[in-house]
Chain A
Amino acid sequence: MVLKTEGVSKYFGDLRAVDNVDLEIEEGEIYGIAGPNGAGKTTLFDVISGLWPPSSGKVIFKNDIISGLKPYQICHKGIARTFQISTVFATLTVLDNIKIGAVFGAKTKKLDSSHINEIIEFLGIQNKKDTIAQNLELYTIKLVMLAAALATDCKLLLLDEPMAGLTIAEIDNFLQIIRKMNKEWGITIVIIEHLIDTLIDISDRIIILDGGKVIYKGLPEELTKDKKVIEVYLGKGEE
Chain B
Amino acid sequence: MLNKIGWKKMAIWLSLLVIVLYPVFFHSNSYIMHIFILFFCWAVLASSWNLLFGYAGIWSLAQVGVFVIGAYSSGMMAKFTGISPLICIPLAAILTALIVTLFVGLPSLRLKGIYICVFSLMFADALPSVLTQTRKWTGGGRGFHDIPPLWNNISRVHYYYVGFAIFLISLFIIYKIVNSSTGKAFIALRDSRDFALSLGINEYKERLKVFALSSFFAGLAGAFYGHYLGHISPSSLGISPFLLAIAMMEMGGLGRFPGAVIGAVVLVFGSELLRLTGMSRLTILGAAVVLIMLFMPKGLMQIVDIIDNIKLRKNAIIK
| A interface residues (Cβ-Cβ under 8 A, vs B) | 49-51, 70-72, 75-76, 80-81, 83, 87-92, 96, 99-101, 103-106, 111, 145, 148-149, 152
Contact B192 A87 (CB under 8 A): yes
Contacting residues, chain B, for A145 (C-beta < 8 A): 195
Contact A72 B188 (CB under 8 A): no
Once bound together, how far apart are the Cα atoms of A196 and B198, in whole Å?
Answer: 27
Once bound together, how far apart are the Cα atoms of A80 and B201, in whole Å?
Answer: 12
Contact A104 B195 (CB under 8 A): no
Which B residues, 153 to 189, have Cβ-Cβ distances below 8 Å to chain A? 181, 184-185, 187-188
Contact A90 B188 (CB under 8 A): no
Kindly provide the distance from the CB of B112 to the nearest chain A CB, expressed in whole angstroms.
14
Contacting residues, chain B, for A106 (C-beta < 8 A): 200
Kindly provide the distance from the CB of A119 to the nearest chain B CB, expressed in whole angstroms.
13
**Residue B308 is within 8 A (CB to CB) of chain A in the complex:** no
6 A-B pairs within 8 Å (CB atoms) are namely A72-B197, A75-B200, A92-B184, A101-B199, A105-B200, A149-B199
Contacting residues, chain A, for B200 (C-beta < 8 A): 71-72, 75-76, 101, 104-106, 152
Contact B195 A105 (CB under 8 A): no
The residue from B188, B202, B255 contacting A100, defined by CB atoms under 8 A apart: B188
**Residue B196 is within 8 A (CB to CB) of chain A in the complex:** yes
| Given A89-B191, A92-B191: A148 touches B199 (CB 8 Å cut-off) | yes
**Residue B125 is within 8 A (CB to CB) of chain A in the complex:** no
Which B residues, 185 to 219, have Cβ-Cβ distances below 8 Å to chain A? 185, 187-188, 191-192, 194-203
The residue from B181, B187, B194, B202 contacting A72, defined by CB atoms under 8 A apart: B202
Contacting residues, chain B, for A81 (C-beta < 8 A): 198
The residue from A70, A89, A111 contacting B195, defined by CB atoms under 8 A apart: A89
Q: Is the interface of B mostly helix, strand, loop or mixed?
A: helix
Once bound together, how far apart are the Cα atoms of A152 and B198, in whole Å?
Answer: 10
Kindly provide the distance from the CB of A108 to the nearest chain B CB, expressed in whole angstroms.
11
Contact A90 B184 (CB under 8 A): no
Contacting residues, chain A, for B185 (C-beta < 8 A): 100, 104
Total CB contacts across the A-B interface at under 8 A: 78
Contacting residues, chain A, for B196 (C-beta < 8 A): 89, 100
Kindly provide the distance from the CB of A60 to the nearest chain B CB, expressed in whole angstroms.
19
Kindly provide the distance from the CB of A93 to the nearest chain B CB, expressed in whole angstroms.
10
Contact B201 A87 (CB under 8 A): no
Kindly provide the distance from the CB of A226 to the nearest chain B CB, expressed in whole angstroms.
32
Kindly provide the distance from the CB of A157 to the nearest chain B CB, expressed in whole angstroms.
11
| Given A80-B199, A105-B200: A51 touches B194 (CB 8 Å cut-off) | yes
Q: Which residue of A lies closest to B55 (CB)?
A: A91
Once bound together, how far apart are the Cα atoms of A152 and B188, in whole Å?
Answer: 15
Contacting residues, chain A, for B184 (C-beta < 8 A): 92, 96, 99-100, 103
Q: Which residue of B lies closest to A89 (CB)?
A: B191
Extra A-B contacts (9), CB below 8 Å, given A88-B191, A148-B199: A49-B198, A50-B197, A51-B197, A72-B197, A75-B197, A75-B199, A83-B195, A100-B188, A103-B181
Once bound together, how far apart are the Cα atoms of A87 and B194, in whole Å?
Answer: 9
Contacting residues, chain B, for A50 (C-beta < 8 A): 197
Once bound together, how far apart are the Cα atoms of A49 and B199, in whole Å?
Answer: 10
Contacting residues, chain A, for B192 (C-beta < 8 A): 87-90
Contact A71 B197 (CB under 8 A): yes
Q: Which residue of A lies closest to B195 (CB)?
A: A87
Once bound together, how far apart are the Cα atoms of A96 and B185, in whole Å?
Answer: 10
Once bound together, how far apart are the Cα atoms of A51 and B203, in whole Å?
Answer: 12
Kindly provide the distance from the CB of B186 to the nearest chain A CB, expressed in whole angstroms.
11
Contact B195 A99 (CB under 8 A): no
Contacting residues, chain B, for A80 (C-beta < 8 A): 198-199
Kindly provide the distance from the CB of B26 to the nearest chain A CB, expressed in whole angstroms.
41
Once bound together, how far apart are the Cα atoms of A50 and B201, in whole Å?
Answer: 13
The residue from A71, A99, A152 contacting B181, defined by CB atoms under 8 A apart: A99
Q: Which residue of B lies closest to A45 (CB)?
A: B198
Contacting residues, chain B, for A83 (C-beta < 8 A): 194-195, 198
- Contact string against A for B residues 26-42, beta-carbon threshold 8 Å, 1 for contact and 0 otherwise: 00000000000000000
Contacting residues, chain B, for A88 (C-beta < 8 A): 191-192, 195
Once bound together, how far apart are the Cα atoms of A81 and B199, in whole Å?
Answer: 8
Once bound together, how far apart are the Cα atoms of A83 and B192, in whole Å?
Answer: 11
Once bound together, how far apart are the Cα atoms of A99 and B182, in whole Å?
Answer: 12
| Given A92-B187, A92-B188, A99-B181: A104 touches B255 (CB 8 Å cut-off) | no
Closest 8 CB pairs of A and B: A75-B200, A105-B200, A71-B197, A104-B200, A89-B191, A87-B192, A101-B199, A72-B202
Q: Which residue of B lies closest to A106 (CB)?
A: B200
